[in-house]
Amino acid sequence: MNQSLEGQLFHPTFLQRLVDANLGFVRFMNFQETNANTQQNWSDRRPPLHMNMSGTLNLRSPADGFPGRRGSGIAFEHMVALSNAAGKDLWVCIPHLATEEFIRNLVRLIRFGAADFAERFGNIDCEVP
């Protein structure tokens, strides 16, 4: 079966496998490229309409001794959308350089974008290199 994927954010086979998986949550650590992530300000994050969902968005070094040009991961909006579409809890990692404004904006995005926020909100974790 060769269906058009136009207008679909996620491939139907991928989404169905995630729905069928015996998982209570989806941890987005690798989708986010969490380790040594350089996002600090809200403007550093990958926007949902960016032409791709991987690669470097800024040249900042994540910490002393680490080179810049680190990946920034997929858009947080896509993480929320995938969690909602699959009916799974969301586990995101806050970048270790994130400002208070970044954290507030991320929590708002999740709160107002996630279905059943009060019951399904997973965990916000911070991975420090």
Supply the DSSP string of 99-112, one letter for each residue.
-HHHHHHHHHHHHH
Task: Find residue 27's DSSP bridge partners.
Answer: 91
pTM score: 0.78
pLDDT digits (tens, 9 = 90+) for 71-128: 778 899 999 999 999 999 888 888 888 899 999 999 888 888 766 554 444 444 555 5
